[in-house]
Amino acid sequence: MKSEFDICIIGAGMAGATIAAYLAPKGIRIALIDHCYKEKKRIVGELLQPGAVASLAQMGLGHLLDGFDAQPVDGYALIQGDEKTTVPYPPDCKGMGLHNGRFLQKIRASALLNNTVTQIHGKALQLLENDRHEIIGVSYRESITSQIKTIHAPLTITSDGFFSNFREHLSNNQKTVTSYFIGIILKDCEMPFPKHGHVFLSGPTPFICYPISNNEVRLLIDFPGEQLPRKQLLQDHLDTNVTPYMPACMRHSYEQALQEGGFKVMPNHYMAAKPIIRKGAVMLGDALNMRHPLTGGGLTAVFSDIQILSAHLLAMPDFGNTDLIHEKIEAYYRDRQHANANLNILANALYGVMSNDLLKTAVFKYLQCGGVNAQESIAILAGLNRNHYSLIKQFFFLAMFGAFDLIRENSLNITKASKILVDAFAIIKPLAKNELSFAAVVSGYFKK
C-alpha cells in the first residue's frame, strides 16, 4: 500500500524536530507528531558543545542558533578552592549557551515551513504492526478531538525523549538514575570567566554553570543518589554543599535566585543503546541512548545520530523498498555506536571522577598543566575527537598522573596512589564494556 508519508516522527523534541528540519527540504514527506508544541522552560540541552554546533552547521541548520540571544562559549573553567584554571576549546571552535525552549521553537518553525511536513497535535499511543510483526505506523489520540487516529509510513522514528513509551518494543535496555540536577537561573551574574562553562570542584559534589542569554547563567547542581530529593533535603544540600563554595562574584545573584525559589529538578540517566532492530522503526535521541549531562554531550550525540541516520536514508532512491530501509537502519545503529561511545563514556566517567576526592584533584591538576593532554581531553569533551584510543589513553594518563603526583608529594602516599588507579579502573571498566569493543580501541590507535 502506498503511504501518504515516507516517515512518521513521534516526538517533535530536539531529535524529532531537528531531523524533520533537515530531511523535509530534501523532499521527504514527514508526519510530525507531538502532544505539545508550546515553548517550554526546561533545564536540559542548554549548552551545545562545539561538536553539536559543527553538526548543525554541516546540516545547513547553523542559522537556527541566531536571533534568540544564544551566547558563544570559548572553553571550560575549573575551580577548586582558591585555584582556577581554564581550558580553551580547539581554535575556531565554539560552543553555545542558550534557552532550550527558544531553540526548540526555532527548530520546529524551520521544520514546519516545509510543505512536506504535516504537523500533528496528538499523543502517540501504539506502534501499528502488520501480520509479519513489521511496524507500519502509529496510532495517536488527536489533541483537539480526542479521537484515536492512525498514521501509516514505511519508517517510524521514535524520538519521544527520556520517558519514551516505545523504548520497550525497540530496545533491550534498562535505564539507571545516576543523580539529579537542580537547575537555577542566576540573573545578572558575573561568572569568574565570561564566555566559559564552569565546573566547581570545591564542594563534595560538583556544580556547573554557563551563560544561556546575555544576562542569565544556568546553574546546575548535582544531587547524588537515585532518589528524588525532598524539599528539606534539597535545602540542606544547598546550604551545606553549595552555598559555602559559591564564588564571591556569583553570590549575590545566587542568593537572590534562592530567595525567588522555583528551581527545577531533573533525573540524570545513564542508558547505553541496546536496540532491538525491527523492520519499519528506528529510535533517535534520549529514547535510545542517555548519558550523564555533566559534560553537555546529549545534543552532540543527538545531532550526530541525525547526520548518520539521514546519510543512510538519503542514499536510498526512495522509501519504497522496506528491505532496503531495514538495511539502512542496521547501518545507522552500527555507525552511531562508534560515533557516540566517547561521549557516553566520558560523561559518566567524569561524573565518577568528580565524585572521588583523589581523582577530582588529579583531573584539576592534569588540566592545569595544559599542553597536548589538556588539548586532547577538551577535544573529546567538545565532541570533536571521537577516537576511542584517545579517550582510553587520556583516562589512564590522568590516573597515572594522579598516582605519581601523590607519590611525588610524599612517598608514604603509596596506598592512596594505588587507590587512584584501582578507582579509575573501576569507573571506566563497566562503561567501556558497555560502549566499546577491543577492536575499536586498537583501530583507534592506528587512526590517531
Ligand X SMILES: Cc1cc2nc3c(=O)[nH]c(=O)nc-3n(C[C@H](O)[C@H](O)[C@H](O)COP(=O)(O)OP(=O)(O)OC[C@H]3O[C@@H](n4cnc5c(N)ncnc54)[C@H](O)[C@@H]3O)c2cc1C
Binding footprint of ligand X on the chain (CB under 6 A): 10-16, 33-36, 43-48, 52, 123-124, 159-161, 165, 181, 266, 268, 285-287, 293, 296-300, 302
First to last CA, the chain: 49
- How many other β-carbons are positioned within 10 Å of the β-carbon of residue 354? 21
> 37 vs 389, which CB is nearer to ligand X?
37
Closest distance to ligand X from the beta carbon of 260 (Å): 20
Nearer to ligand X, 16 or 203 (CB): 16
Alpha carbon distance 334, 330 (integer Å): 6
Grid coordinates given for 372 = 597536548
Cβ(47)–Cβ(210) below 8 Å: yes
- Please say which residue, 137 or 285, places its beta carbon nearer to ligand X: 285
Q: Which is nearer to ligand X, 9 or 420 (CB)?
A: 9
| 367/148 Cα distance (integer angstroms) | 56
3-state secondary structure of 96: strand
Q: Which of 15, 22, 8 is nearest to 122 (CA)?
A: 8
Q: What one-letter code names the amino acid at 147?
A: Q
Angular region, 274: left φ>0, alpha ψ -120 to 50, beta rest: beta
Burial of 391 (0-12, 13-18, 19+ CB in 10 A): buried
Cell (9 digits) for 35? 502532544
Bridge partners, residue 229, by sequence:
none
Q: How many residues can be counted in the chain? A: 448
Shorter beta-carbon distance to ligand X: residue 271 or 325: 271
* Residue 348 amino acid letter: N
SS3 287: helix
d(CA 226, CA 245): 24
Report the residue number, 145 or 321, with the smaller CB distance to ligand X: 145
CB 287 → ligand X: shortest distance, Å?
Answer: 6
For residue 270, the minimal CB distance to ligand X (Å) is 11
Nearer to ligand X, 118 or 165 (CB): 165
- CB nearer ligand X, residue 381 or residue 428: 381
Amino acid letter, 165: N
Give whichever of 203 and 297 is closer to ligand X, judged by the CB atom: 297
CB of 123 to ligand X, least distance (A): 5
> How near is the Cβ of 75 to ligand X at its closest, in Å?
15
Considering the complex, what minimum distance in angstroms separates the CB of residue 267 from ligand X? Answer: 7
| Residue 130 Cβ vs ligand X, minimum distance, rounded to whole Å | 21
Identity of the residue, 266 or 384, whose beta carbon is nearer to ligand X in the bound complex? 266
Which residue's CB is nearer to ligand X, number 56 or number 432?
Answer: 56
Q: For ligand X, give the closer residue by CB, 96 or 362.
A: 96
User: Are the beta carbons of 66 and 43 closer than 8 angstroms?
Assistant: no
Helix (H, G, I), strand (E, B) or coil at 122: strand
* Contact in structure between 308 and 339 (CB atoms under 8 Å): yes
Q: Provide the grid cell at 20.
A: 524533520
- Give me the least distance between CB of 11 and ligand X, in Å please: 3
| Residue 32 · residue 17 · CB < 8 Å | yes
C-beta of 410: minimal distance to ligand X in Å? 39
> Smallest gap, in angstroms, from Cβ of residue 411 to ligand X?
42
Give the shortest CB-423-to-ligand X separation in angstroms: 25
Comparing every residue's Cβ against ligand X, the nearest one is 13
| Grid cell at residue 32 | 510530525
Determine contact, residues 367/380, Cβ cutoff 8 Å. no
Q: How far apart are CA 86 and CA 72, in angstroms?
A: 16
Residue 358 CB, shortest distance to ligand X, in Å, is 27
CA gap 108, 124 in Å, rounded = 18
Residue 393 is classified by DSSP as H
